[in-house]
Amino acid sequence: MSTLLERILAAYGQTVTVFHAQEDARTVRAFLQGGRDAGETAPFAVTPLGTVDDRTWIYLGTAQVEPGDTVAFAGDTYMVQNSQAVWIGDEISHWWAALTPQKEAAV
């Protein structure tokens, strides 16, 4: 099953970079999608410093991610809030993770 998913990711996934503690960055293919809660009208919040993306992003990929890891895509970085392995039979099919946009430090 993971071979099939890897072929799907190779054809349709996005190129992301995973930064895992104590390891070098890995560039992998994954699905990264912004999500919104039901009834939410806009995928951002207005703050005194401007607008910020407040969506929870979803990661689906074969590369393991854990809370505290970061995922970079298209110039933005996202912090892994929680993750879990998705099993099919006796093997891990893929990893699911909820991400939040990493805020830039105020200068």
Burial grade of 94 (CB within 10 A; 0-12, 13-18, 19 or more):
buried
| pTM beyond 0.85 | no
List Cβ neighbours of 37 (8 Å cut-off, separation of 6 or more): none
Bridge partners (DSSP) of residue 69 are none
Q: Give yes or no for residue 99 having a pLDDT over 50.
A: yes
Sorted by where each begins, the domain ranges of the chain are 2-35+47-101
Q: Decide the pairing of beta strands 44-47 and 70-73.
A: unpaired
pLDDT tens digits for range 17-56: 999 877 789 999 999 988 755 455 555 555 555 555 557 8
Tell me the Ramachandran region of residue 56: left when phi exceeds 0, alpha when psi lies from -120 to 50, beta otherwise: beta
Q: Which amino acid is at 8?
A: I
Average pLDDT rounded to a whole number, residues 44-70: 76
Distance of alpha carbon 78 from alpha carbon 38, whole angstroms = 22
